[in-house]
């Protein structure tokens, strides 16, 4: 019998998306083919400690005893004995997991891992940077402004004036580096903009203010390394004002159309744009690309790209691939295979340069 591939599943983390990560990791663990894979569950606590747990579900029981790993592997401290891990599978949403930090640690260690590399992860996490890359590739994005926290603290009237001169409501205010709609506010009256800005700055030192688009929210899954392909698009039909954190993970009343009811031409266009957005950030492995389809004009706008999309029971990334003919277990097989491919390519490049 062939030796099982040992997958180090990382989840939890230091971001505001900690709880979402636990649910995603549980779905990944339950869909990995145990005839092919052995899973080592590595729980990253809210303060950055690494702990080996029995499963992602066990992490919710808040283990208080037992050996733990330091967040920095070169720091001192106990080292629990674990099987040698063949490939890491980070399911760490948001900062300190999806933003290139953990990927940089894997690169330093020379360890294979699933998903995008350091630059793509950082660009995908930072909505301001990704929009700049999208524009440079000629992709359509909504009008937006970017502000750093000291601009707001030093000149609040000037920031508010610039927003008033640029946008008519509604508009959206969001942290540049956050996911799961954490810290996002829909502003329908300009006199409430300051409050929305304060909320966004709780989560990041950089924020975006974006033009509100009246239309449909479309999502498309991307898979690939050397060859890149896009799934059928799906539609998110929010129960609330927009697809916010509460709508995603608490109320559970959002509806999904998988696949979306689109003309063949619009569907092809969205799939093409999804692949181009993936290439714009030099993605690898997986990404979910989110779009706006404006009702009045039929224009398509690339909104953002998530390099570690949700894997929960309601998450669009696996649902869209299942609708496109790739069931969840086969999707995980493909992502792990591409992680090894990317590692071999990276190793070959380093060897050629003598690094």
Burial of 148 (0-12, 13-18, 19+ CB in 10 A): middle
pTM, to two decimals: 0.88
pLDDT digits (tens, 9 = 90+) for 278-330: 999 999 999 999 999 999 999 999 999 999 999 987 899 999 999 999 999 99
Instruction: State the Cα–Cα distance between residues 273 and 284, nearest whole angstrom.
Output: 16
Instruction: State the Cα–Cα distance between residues 28 and 322, nearest whole angstrom.
Output: 14
Quick one: pLDDT at residue 328?
96
Angle between helix 193-201 and helix 156-166 axes, rounded to 10 deg = 120
Could you give the C-alpha distances from 69 to 55, 74, 80, 156, 325, in angstroms and in order? 16, 10, 7, 44, 39
Architecture per CATH, domain 144-211, reads as 2-Layer Sandwich (3.30)
Looking from the CA of 167 toward its CB, the CA atoms found within 13 Å total 25
pLDDT digits (tens, 9 = 90+) for 158-172: 999 999 999 999 999
Q: How confident is the model at residue 340 (pLDDT cuts 50, 70, 90)?
A: very high
Mean pLDDT of 239-249: 55
- Give domain 125-140+215-337's CATH number out of 3.40.630.10, 3.30.470.20, 3.30.1330.40, 2.60.120.460: 3.30.470.20
Mapped onto helix, strand or coil, the DSSP state of residue 166 is helix
Domain 5-97 has what CATH class?
alpha beta
Percent of the chain beyond pLDDT 70?
Answer: 87
Quick one: pLDDT at residue 94?
84
- What residue spans define the domains of the chain? 5-97, 125-140+215-337, 144-211
Quick one: pLDDT at residue 245?
52
pLDDT digits (tens, 9 = 90+) for 101-120: 999 999 998 999 999 999 99
Q: In which residue are the tokens 């033009």 written?
A: 211
Position 131 pLDDT exceeds 70: yes
Angle at 187 (CA atoms; ends 261, 307), nearest 5 degrees = 55
Kindly provide the b/e burial profile for residues 296-335, where b requires at least 16 CB atoms within 10 angstroms of the residue's own CB. Answer: eeeebbbbbbbbbbbbbeebbbbbbbbbbebebeebbbbb
């Amino acid at each position: 019998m062939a030796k099982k591939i040992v997958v180090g599943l990382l989840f939890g983390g230091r971001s505001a998306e900690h709880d979402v990560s636990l649910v995603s990791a549980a779905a990944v663990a339950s869909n990995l083919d145990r005839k092919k894979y052995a899973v080592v569950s590595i729980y990253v606590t809210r303060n950055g400690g690494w702990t080996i747990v029995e499963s992602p579900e066990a992490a919710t029981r808040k283990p208080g005893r037992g050996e733990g790993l330091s967040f920095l592997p070169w720091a001192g401290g106990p080292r629990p004995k674990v099987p040698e891990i063949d490939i890491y599978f980070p399911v760490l949403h948001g900062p300190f997991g999806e933003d290139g930090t953990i990927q940089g640690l894997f690169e330093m260690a020379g360890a294979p891992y699933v998903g995008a590399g350091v630059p793509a992860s950082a660009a995908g996490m930072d909505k301001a940077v990704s929009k700049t890359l999208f524009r440079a590739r000629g992709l359509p994005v909504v009008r937006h402004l970017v502000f750093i926290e000291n601009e707001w603290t030093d000149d609040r009237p000037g920031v508010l004036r610039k927003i008033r001169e640029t946008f008519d409501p509604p508009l959206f205010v969001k942290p540049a580096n956050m996911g799961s709609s954490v810290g996002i506010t829909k502003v329908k009256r300009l006199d409430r903009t300051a409050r929305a800005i304060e909320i966004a700055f709780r989560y990041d030192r950089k924020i975006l203010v974006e033009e509100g688009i009246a239309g449909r929210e479309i999502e498309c899954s991307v898979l690939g390394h050397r060859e890149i392909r896009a799934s059928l698009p799906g539609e998110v039909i929010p129960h609330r004002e927009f697809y916010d954190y509460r709508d995603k993970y608490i109320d559970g009343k959002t509806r999904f159309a998988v696949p979306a009811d689109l003309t063949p031409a619009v569907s092809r266009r969205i799939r093409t744009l999804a692949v181009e957005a993936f290439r714009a950030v030099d993605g690898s492995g997986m990404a979910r690309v989110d779009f706006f389809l404006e009702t009045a004009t039929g224009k398509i706008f690339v909104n953002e790209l998530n390099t570690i999309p949700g894997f929960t029971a309601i998450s669009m990334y696996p649902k869209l691939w299942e609708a496109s003919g790739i069931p969840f277990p086969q999707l995980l097989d493909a992502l792990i295979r591409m992680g090894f491919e990317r590692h071999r390519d990276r190793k070959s490049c380093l060897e050629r340069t003598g690094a």
